[in-house]
Every structure is written in structure tokens, then in C-alpha cells.
């Protein structure tokens, strides 16, 4: 029976499904073990139940890395590649545009839903490099397909350090959002004021 041996082989989709099993209080620990083995192996619950006790224990030992997220290196990369597609991370909150701020706050407002929204958060701060070289701008319209791509293909070994980084940055991000909105409002007011001056000068002339 083939099983993952590291976080590099666990996608965000699988991670979300594992999280759902672990959080299911209706299941006993032994039942959760069976469910997890079934999920990771692709075998049915019945097939896992039919395994000899020693064999099940051997497989559970093999996936014991699941209890140790901390073994993932926490270095956050500036760029990463998934399925030959290169993505650039926006690690400086002040570089996020208004659309990114709004979408990011929407997905981070419920701490209990963070695990379910990892792919959505990453799709906001990780943008594709056109031809692997040219930076692209964020578009809310392209968020959903990118989030789906991350959900199905991004390994936890890449996602986890980024998520930790942004959770630590969340408090600052909230302050930065307020500052950003103030700045944008000030810009709009100045623009309106200048336009009014132009109108007045034309009227007087």
C-alpha cells in the first residue's frame, strides 16, 4: 500500500480533508486512524479494516510525520514552482493593492476557517510570472481558478511557511489596511479638489 512519507506529498486538498477527519468529534481515535489511512492510500474503509493489526501499525508509523507540522522548514520563498508554473509572493503588505487587501481580509476574518481558506489566501498573495519572467498584477476575476489550482496541487511543505508568515503579519496587516484606505481617501479628496479648481478656473475665465 503506497502512502505519503512527507509533507511534500500532501496537497492542500488532502490537508483540508485530514483536518476534517481530525476535527470530527464523532469519531474515536482508532476510527480516525482508519479514515486517514483510507484517505491517503485510496483504499476503502473495509480494505483498511481487513489489514492485520501489525500492518496497520506499520502504516500508521509511516505517516507519523502528520503529527509534526513543525518539521517543515519555515523559510518563506520569494518564488515557488508548481507543475512548471512559477509564482511570485508578495511578502510586503504595503505592496498589496486595494483589491488584494479587501479579499485578504475577507478570507482571514474567521480564524476558525483559516485551514479551509489557505488556498484562497495564497491565491491573493502569490501571483503567476508570465513566461516565468514577467510580473503580473492581481485580478479578482482570476483568483478562483488560481485558488483551485493551489488547492489541488500545492504541497503543504510550500504552503505552511507562507501561512505562518501571514498569520504573524495579520495584526500589522489590519493596521496597514486602515492606513491604506486613509491614503487612498486622501488621494481621492485631493483629486476632487484639483478637479474643482480646474472647473472653477474655467468658469471664472
Instruction: Determine the pLDDT at residue 184.
Output: 47
Helices 12-22 & 118-125, crossing angle to 10 degrees? Answer: 150
Same domain, 144 and 95: yes
Instruction: Determine the pLDDT at residue 205.
Output: 47
Same domain, 162 and 98: yes
Domain contains 169: yes
Instruction: Determine the pLDDT at residue 197.
Output: 47
Domain contains 53: yes
Q: Is 158:12 a contact under the CB 8 Å cutoff?
A: no
Instruction: Determine the pLDDT at residue 70.
Output: 66
End-to-end CA distance of the chain: 85
For the chain, how many structural domains are there in total? 2
Domain contains 44: yes
Domain contains 200: no
Instruction: Determine the pLDDT at residue 57.
Output: 92
Domain contains 189: no
Same domain, 59 and 17: yes
Instruction: Determine the pLDDT at residue 137.
Output: 87
Same domain, 21 and 45: yes
Same domain, 64 and 105: no
This prediction has a pTM of: 0.75
Q: What is the pLDDT along the chain (205 residues), one digit of tens a residue?
A: 899 989 899 999 998 898 889 888 999 989 999 999 999 999 999 999 999 999 999 999 999 888 877 667 767 878 899 998 999 988 777 777 888 888 888 887 776 666 778 899 899 989 998 876 788 888 888 999 999 999 999 998 888 888 777 666 655 555 554 454 445 434 544 454 454 444 344 434 4
Same domain, 32 and 54: yes
Instruction: Determine the pLDDT at residue 99.
Output: 84
Instruction: Determine the pLDDT at residue 203.
Output: 39
> Could you tell me the residue range of the domain that residue 21 belongs to?
7-71
Amino acid at each position: 500500500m503506497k502512502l505519503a512519507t512527507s509533507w511534500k506529498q500532501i496537497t492542500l486538498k488532502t490537508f483540508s480533508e485530514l483536518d476534517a477527519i481530525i476535527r470530527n468529534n464523532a469519531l474515536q481515535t482508532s476510527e480516525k486512524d482508519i479514515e486517514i489511512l483510507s484517505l491517503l492510500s485510496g483504499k476503502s474503509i473495509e480494505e483498511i479494516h481487513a489489514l492485520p493489526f501489525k500492518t496497520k501499525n506499520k502504516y500508521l508509523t509511516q505517516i507519523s510525520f502528520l503529527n509534526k507540522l513543525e518539521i517543515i522548514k519555515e523559510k518563506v520563498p520569494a518564488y515557488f514552482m508548481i507543475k512548471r508554473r512559477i509564482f511570485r509572493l508578495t511578502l510586503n503588505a504595503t505592496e498589496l493593492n486595494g483589491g488584494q487587501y479587501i479579499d485578504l481580509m475577507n478570507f482571514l476574518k474567521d480564524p476558525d476557517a483559516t485551514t479551509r481558506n489557505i488556498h484562497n489566501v495564497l491565491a491573493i498573495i502569490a501571483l503567476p510570472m508570465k513566461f516565468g519572467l514577467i510580473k503580473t498584477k492581481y485580478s479578482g476575476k482570476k483568483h478562483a481558478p488560481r485558488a483551485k489550482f493551489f488547492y489541488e496541487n500545492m504541497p503543504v511543505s510550500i504552503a505552511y511557511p507562507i501561512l505562518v508568515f501571514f498569520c504573524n503579519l495579520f495584526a500589522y496587516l489590519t493596521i496597514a489596511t486602515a492606513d491604506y484606505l486613509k491614503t487612498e481617501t486622501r488621494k481621492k479628496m485631493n483629486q476632487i479638489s484639483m478637479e474643482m479648481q480646474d472647473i472653477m478656473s474655467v468658469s471664472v475665465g
